[in-house]
Structure 1
Amino acid sequence: MNTEFSFIILTYNEEIHLPRLLESISGFDAELFVLDSFSTDTTTAIAQAAGAKVLVHKFENHPKQWDFALKSFPIKTPWVICLDADQIVTPELQQQLLNFRDTDYQNISGIYFNRKNFFKGKWLRFGGYYPFYLLKMFRYRVGYSDLNENMDHRFIVPGNIIIWKKGHLLEENLKENNIRFWIDKHNRYSDLLAQEETERILGLRNQTIKPKFWGSPDERTAWLKQLWWRLPRYVRPTVYFIYRMVFKLGIFDGRTGIIFHFLQGFWFRLVVDIKIDELIKQRDADRDKK
């Protein structure tokens, strides 16, 4: 049994994704822990057949789900790797993990993996989507889920971090090949993000990660978010879409890529802005009734 790291995977109706992921990590002889959100397909059966320890927990948002997972599973290894069910570990990343020894990383607390994201079979190489680093591996009981985020989940790891630029996580949600699924999913996400931003406007929610442009990938994201919050609503989706298309060369992702950048970079952000205004107006109306 692997004594260096264990895997935690979040699932919900992932019978088309989970076998791919499990196959890509089957060579590590590592403990598997799966936190499911009441799947109605064969997800949990697939996980159990692979030897995973499975818990079921009602889903509110990703940060809370990861927080529950990290606090509930009996992790015995010094490191944990947290993956989404629609991700795959590539052979080059597999080799880095096979060579991983805790004794070689005594002064390191977290490791970023490089992600390749796909939409309708298309690798999104431009538009700010590659390279894209995700903090997925960290010391157990050192890293934790950032509960100050409502939709955009990330882990906080005090201490030194490094980036593995070689090797990749491949991320492709095959269910998103049906555009109705993508739209319904992001409509739900827009509810979460609008609520989060409204709470930030009202001073009810803080930012955990220290914003730093020249810092870690997550510190830079925190800095960019502060810039985003200062931009005027309804203007910022257009600015962001142009930034992705022109300055981040999203135009070179071709028709499928441009559709994605429009939907995720403009449409989704515009819906969030509309919902923020609705929440603020509803709050003002409720306050006037008192």
Structure 2
Amino acid sequence: MNKDFSFIILTFNEEIHLPRLLESIKDLHAKTYILDSGSTDKTLKIAAAYGAEVLQNPFENHPKQWDFALKHFQIITPWTIGLDADQRVTPELFEMLANFNDAEHGDINGIYFNRKNFFQGSWIRFGTFYPFYLLKMFRTGIGYSDLNENMDHRFIVPGKTEIWKKGWILEENLKENDIAFWKIKHERYSDLIAQEEIERMQKLRIQRIKPNLLGSPDEKRAWLKRLWWKLPLGFRPYLYFGYRMFFKLGIFEGATGIKFHYLHSFWFRQLVDKKIKALQKQTHKI
């Protein structure tokens, strides 16, 4: 059994994704823990077939689900790797993990993996989506879930981190090949984000990560989010879509990629802004 790291995976009806991910990591011989939120398909049977330890917890949002996982799995390895079921480890990242030695990372508390995101079979390589660094590997007991977010989830570690630029994870949600599924999913997400932004306006939420445009990938994203919250509602989706399409070259993505950028940076963000305005009206009536 791998003595350096263990995996945690979140699942909900992931029978089309989970075998792909577990196959990509099985030869690392690392203990695997799965937190499921009530799957009714073959997810649990697949987890058992690969020898994963499974717990179940009702889903509220991603940050709280990750928090539950980190607090309830008894991980004994010095490092933990948190993955989503629709991700998988590339051979390049597999090799880096296979050669990983905790003793060589004594002053490091977190490691960023580089993500390649796919939508309907197309790699989204422009429009801010590549390179995209995610803190996925962290010292057990030191890394924690950022509960200050309502939808976006990230792990936070104090101290030093490093970035593995060539160790990729591939992320492709095959369910999102159905645009109807994508829209229903993001309808739910828009509710979470709208409520979160209202609470930020009311000073009920603060950023846990220090915004820094020149800092770590998460510090840079925190800086950009702080800027985003200051932009006028209704106008910012147009600005964001234009930024991704032209300044970040999304226009060269191809038809599928352009559709993704439109849905993700305009349609979805416009929906969020509409729901924020609706919540603001309700608040003023009270």
Q: Considering the TM-score relative to the shorter chain, is it more than 0.5?
A: yes
Equivalent positions of 1:1-290 (< 5 A) are 1-285=1-285, 287=286
Paired AA for residue 195 in structure 2: Q
Q: Which AA in structure 1 matches 2:120?
A: K
Letter in 2 for 1:93: L
SS at match of 1:233: coil
Residues 196-236 of structure 1: CA deviation (Å, up to 9, x unaligned) = 00100111111100000000000000000010011000000
| Aligned residues: CA RMSD | 0.5
Counterpart residue type for residue 189 of structure 1: Y
- After superposing on structure 2, the runs of 4+ consecutive aligned residues of structure 1 that deviate more than 4 Å are none
For 2:226 and 2:212, the matched residues in 1 are separated by: 10
Give the match's secondary structure for 2:266: helix
- Please give the alpha-carbon distance, in whole angstroms, between the structure 2 residues aligned to 1:281 and 1:233: 14
Segments of structure 2 that go 5 or more residues without pairing to the other structure are none
Distance 1:127 1:234 in 2: 20
Deviation per residue, 1:20-66 (Å, 9 max, x gap): 00000011111010000101101011001100000010000000000
Provide the C-alpha distance between the structure 2 equivalents of 1:216 and 1:3, rounded to a whole number of angstroms.
28
Tell me, in whole angstroms, the C-alpha distance in 1 between the residues paired with 2:232 and 2:167: 39
**C-alpha distance in 1 between matches for 2:118 and 2:152:** 18
Instruction: Give, in whole Å, the separation in 1 of the partners of 2:283 and 2:61.
Output: 22
- Cα distance in 2 for partners of 1:9, 1:88 equals 11
Q: What is the alpha-carbon distance in structure 1 between the residues aligned to residue 178 and residue 128 of structure 2? A: 24
TM-score normalized by the length of structure 1: 0.98
Give the gaps of 5 or more residues in structure 1: none
- SS of 1:186's equivalent in the other structure is helix
Q: Following the alignment from structure 1 to structure 2, what is the Cα–Cα distance between the partners of residues 140 and 281?
A: 44
Task: Give the paired residue count.
Answer: 286
Q: Distance in 1 between matches of 2:250 and 2:89?
A: 25
State the distance in 2 between where 1:130 and 1:238 align. Answer: 21
Give distance in 1, aligned partners of 2:166 and 2:203: 40
Q: Within 2, Cα distance between the matches of 1:45 and 1:282? A: 45
Q: Deviations over 1:106-165 (max 9, x none)?
A: 000000000000000000010110000000000011000000000111011101000000
Q: Distance in 2 between matches of 1:125 and 1:148?
A: 29
CA distance in 1 between counterparts of 2:159 and 2:151 reads 25
